[in-house]
Structure 1
């Protein structure tokens, strides 16, 4: 095994996907790059694991689970190809009840989607959905170049990138709530509105549907531009660990050295500039540059008190939020059957399956957020359900089990009426009972579970507060963690920086470019 060196040009803390993007670009520029990962494996939350004791051969993307927001220009710059699988249909909105009950299966066939929407909802919803799609496509095209640049303010990005007729729309969307944005289109169906509010507006946020900044999260989640995606999210073949594996291989080929089980406990500062890092075992590495690929709060905790500008630490403290996401990873022995689907319906299993309260959905979404703010586990949680092994069979085991997951949008970081250890088993049963409402008998298919509460996400992936976006996506553009921290030689390039939290890679790219410019 190659020993960890005592000196490097650049030390990168963490081996998540952004760190690996930075390592590729910096090593190709001729710098001596060392990547230090505290865990025993690379990838951060972008990993494929085999976490089920009762189905040990079954693969699962335990953290991030879809690839959509990575800019195709970044992949071209890195000269890498990530194998992806198109989901068709990509959205499934079921309702409880027998065949003939309302449902939507969104896929490539737009005419069929229109037919379903008109049949089960209304012509007004068809028109609203198409108007939304046209406007978001225009904003997506305009905003895309800004993701691979240093951020400006909301106004500066609007002036520089957004076509004049959409600038006021863009400003209102980024600053405002997802509810206010969607209200402009005149959806008649509360259920359709709730679907877009929850899956794009609230995903990963410590926020409710009426809160400012949820519009920014909605826009972020509609920035899918990968080849063949047609504006949708895709599956990384082999699970999300494929992304980090390919990036790591490319970084090593460029000369970067990557070490696991190498926890950094301090960033040293000499004469108001970075001197290097200290590891948990006492070893130290001197470096010209230290780049934090870990979350911003972890990075700031490693720096001596007073070394960072007060304006930065105050701003980041004000933006700090705990995570509110619960992910229930599941091993299933067979596929569930949704009662609302007719026998000749396309398979819904590769899609994002939206489980939403049927009675007054938006009222229920607001009530859910009120419960979370009060520290209670929601009685009617909103859930995205995934079952990728029907599209990516490489993850299946010899027994034919399927990997699945429930992504629960909002739960308290710590419940007010008990501990997660005490409450989690009952809540898992409650979530499976919710699945049974739409697909009777699902709970009987469960072979094993791997639940990750917000504290579980914090512990398993090393993310401060268990916040999957590092910094809440209600915080936009230049208000996120800056690439250059203001301490000479210390940089940040994780999901907490511009443009947003998710598997994007742009922050790793932009931080590396900033470092090369400064050097």
Structure 2
């Protein structure tokens, strides 16, 4: 901090992956760039930590945990390499019965997946799944160039990028619900529909399966185009801190200066233009350009009242939502054993393990609701401020694929990603309810993999408010702006206040570890400075 400069060409608030991408591009263009990070750790939610007091050398991606949506063209532009590991299988859908109960392992062997789907589900589900995958692959290919460009309206994006025969499908998907989109394909199994609805349509959203815009989130989560991904999500070797660490090294090599433990208290403005930033400790940096890599609402709070265009403030406040994601980071002494898997079956670890309400019915066990009805009941609970009686869980355990995260004793890092929960409880508090709800989540794990509870050595649970505190994201919303909000309706790169720009997950194209917003914001700054 003793080397903090008094002036710079560009100050970037926050060292999330988008901000670091911006820093690379702006510094390489010859600008004097300073990145200010409030936390002691770089990377925002893209970090690898050692959060377990009882196993202090066990690594864990405590926030974001998979890399899939980053455009390969962006990595080529940045000339960086992020080592990634393929998960195969990438999805595991178990049921809570014993050997012989239905399950699905989705992997690179499509014939094996189809055979399992037909054996445990139906030929109709095979046809529906394949038709959906073909359509999504076409949309993924068409939409890809739009992510590294300024956004337009849904119709403009369709006209500019989507093949004519899919334009109406694209518009309906982006504006519509994930439930309606999945229904089009004629799945017989509601469990398969609910799996896709949760992991792609609802992940990170404050929304239910029938809400408009959940189709956009579904499309976003199917934009995996990294080499070797084949439409699936990958693991960053060494955890997600590898992503931010790689970008930070490239930014420093280009001349950017990065400071941690340097919270910004205000963006300074004079005569309708940005003049720099003030830090919480009283120091200031003069700059004609300030770029917010923090979430849009934090950036807006740093600007003097009335300095931003009133229409922008109104529009962003209208789409503001709190987070509805809970994450329970776990340290495990060993690997769980899933009761439905026969001996000799391919390992489900590394994959996303889907624990879904309604799966017990498929195993011939009593079930209160159908899978899609259970999703709707879950969302009704969240809207009423209740902890869902039947939450959905994505369970993952990456240390079998990336053993570099393990400690010397061979512990495994794992996590439960729970969608959805309320930010605040109507009739209680998270402090009062968290221990019991974590036990409920472990009870669900026990239904599928008996003995799991005994493997838990330590844990780090993060409620939505916990995510807000730990990562500094307003409202604990992991996408900054709900991904029901698409394209030009998100935070604009140029805010309308001269010299103030935004380039976080709250901007186009969407929330997740993508990096396109950092790229696009930097390109906009360079164009506005006459360097584009």
Question: What TM-score, normalized by structure 1, do the two folds share?
Answer: 1.00
Corresponding residue to 1:394 among 386, 401, 404: 404
Mapping of residues 502-513 of structure 1, within 5 Å: 502-513=512-523
**Partner residue of 1:209?**
209
**Partner residue of 2:85?**
85
Mapping of residues 162-201 of structure 1, within 5 Å: 162-201=162-201
Q: Name stretches of at least 5 consecutive residues in structure 1 with no aligned partner.
A: none
Mapping of residues 61-100 of structure 1, within 5 Å: 61-100=61-100
Q: Does structure 1 residue 515 correspond to structure 2 residue 525?
A: yes
Q: Secondary structure at the match of 1:276?
A: strand
Give, in whole Å, the separation in 1 of the partners of 2:232 and 2:220. 12
Mapping of residues 24-423 of structure 1, within 5 Å: 24-358=24-358, 359=367, 360-423=370-433
Give, in whole Å, the separation in 2 of the partners of 1:197 and 1:498. 22
Q: Secondary structure at the match of 2:375?
A: helix
Q: Secondary structure at the match of 2:465?
A: helix
Q: Secondary structure at the match of 2:504?
A: coil
Give, in whole Å, the separation in 2 of the partners of 1:111 and 1:100. 20
Q: Deviations over 1:235-283 (max 9, x none)?
A: 0000000000000000000000000010000001111000000000000
Give, in whole Å, the separation in 2 of the partners of 1:57 and 1:436. 27
Q: Deviations over 1:357-385 (max 9, x none)?
A: 12411110100000000000011100000
Q: Name whichever of 346-355 and 414-423 sits farther off.
A: 414-423
Offset of residue 310 of structure 1: 0.5
Q: Deviations over 1:204-245 (max 9, x none)?
A: 000000000000000000000000000000000000000000
Q: Secondary structure at the match of 1:389?
A: coil
Offset of residue 418 of structure 1: 1.0
Give, in whole Å, the separation in 1 of the partners of 2:84 and 2:96. 32
Q: Deviations over 1:388-426 (max 9, x none)?
A: 000000000011100000000100001112111110000
Corresponding residue to 1:486 among 496, 506, 511: 496
Offset of residue 318 of structure 1: 0.2
Q: Name whichever of 364-373 and 353-362 sits farther off.
A: 353-362
Offset of residue 2 of structure 1: 5.2
Give, in whole Å, the separation in 2 of the partners of 1:195 and 1:326. 18
Offset of residue 29 of structure 1: 0.2
Q: Secondary structure at the match of 1:7?
A: coil
Q: Secondary structure at the match of 2:287?
A: strand
**Matched residues, number:** 519
Q: Deviations over 1:191-215 (max 9, x none)?
A: 0000000000000000000000000
Give, in whole Å, the separation in 1 of the partners of 2:251 and 2:508. 22
Q: Deviations over 1:70-119 (max 9, x none)?
A: 00000000000000000000000000111110000000000000000000
Give, in whole Å, the separation in 2 of the partners of 1:377 and 1:408. 11
Give, in whole Å, the separation in 1 of the partners of 2:252 and 2:424. 40
**Partner residue of 1:429?**
439
Give, in whole Å, the separation in 2 of the partners of 1:410 and 1:319. 18
Q: Does structure 1 residue 472 correspond to structure 2 residue 482?
A: yes
Q: Secondary structure at the match of 2:9?
A: strand
Give, in whole Å, the separation in 2 of the partners of 1:309 and 1:151. 19
Give, in whole Å, the separation in 2 of the partners of 1:99 and 1:88. 22
Q: Deviations over 1:1-35 (max 9, x none)?
A: 65110000000000000000000000000000000
Q: Deviations over 1:148-198 (max 9, x none)?
A: 000000000000000000000000000000000011100000100000000
Give, in whole Å, the separation in 1 of the partners of 2:371 and 2:455. 28
